[in-house]
Amino acid sequence: MKSVFYLLDTAPYGSEKAFGALNAAAVSLNEMEVTLGLYGDGVYLVVAGQDSKMLGVPNLSDILYSYGELKVLAHEPSFVERGLFGETLIETVELVDEEDLLEAMENSDCVILL
């Protein structure tokens, strides 16, 4: 089975990139081994307790809850740099350091940067 790694480094709301990444990841789930990697501002996607009602867009963290089998890796130093250390996170996320994130990307057949 082919594997794909979607790398997201932009904040979840304000652009469609995160929604696009989640869409792409969700539709590839049955056909491929999918990993969603979050880096830089992308890590905001897994902070728990998001409320997007006022923005009029779907709650992206609910998509992660819907696709519990999706492997989500988040770059931990990005959390620390943004003062998110100790925030409650969505259960499905695995925190990884620089080396592990890179290893996961290298081990995937293709990496798609959004």
Partner 1 sequence: MPGNPNETKLVNFAMANGTRRRIINFLANGYGNSGELENIIGTKTLAFHLKILQQAGLVKFEEGTVKLSEYGRKFLKNKTGKSEEKTMDFSQAKPVEIAEIRQLLPCIADPSKLRVSANMLPPPGGILKLLEPLFPRSNYSDRKDSLIIQKGEIITTIYGSGKVSIRMIKNEDEAKEELENLKNIINEAIAKGVAPTPREKVRVELMDIYNSLPRTNCGKCGEQGRYSFAIRLMAGQVALDRCTLLKEPEYTNNQEHLQTLTVYI
Q: Does 29 bind partner 1 (CB under 8 A)?
A: yes
CA distance 36 to 38: 7
Residue 28's Cβ-count burial label (10 Å; 0-12, 13-18, 19+) is middle
Contact 3, 32 (CB under 8 A): yes
Q: Between 14 and 68, whose beta carbon lies closer to partner 1? A: 68
**37 three-class SS:** strand
For residue 30 the two structure tokens come to 């049955």
Among 13, 17, 94, 112, interactor with partner 1 by CB under 8 A: 94
User: Restricting to residues 32-51, which ones interact with partner 1 according to CB under 8 A?
Assistant: none
Among 43, 95, 104, 114, interactor with partner 1 by CB under 8 A: 95
Q: Does 26 bind partner 1 (CB under 8 A)?
A: yes
For partner 1, the binding residues (CB under 8 A) are 22-23, 26-27, 29-30, 58-59, 62-63, 65-69, 76-77, 80, 85-89, 91-100
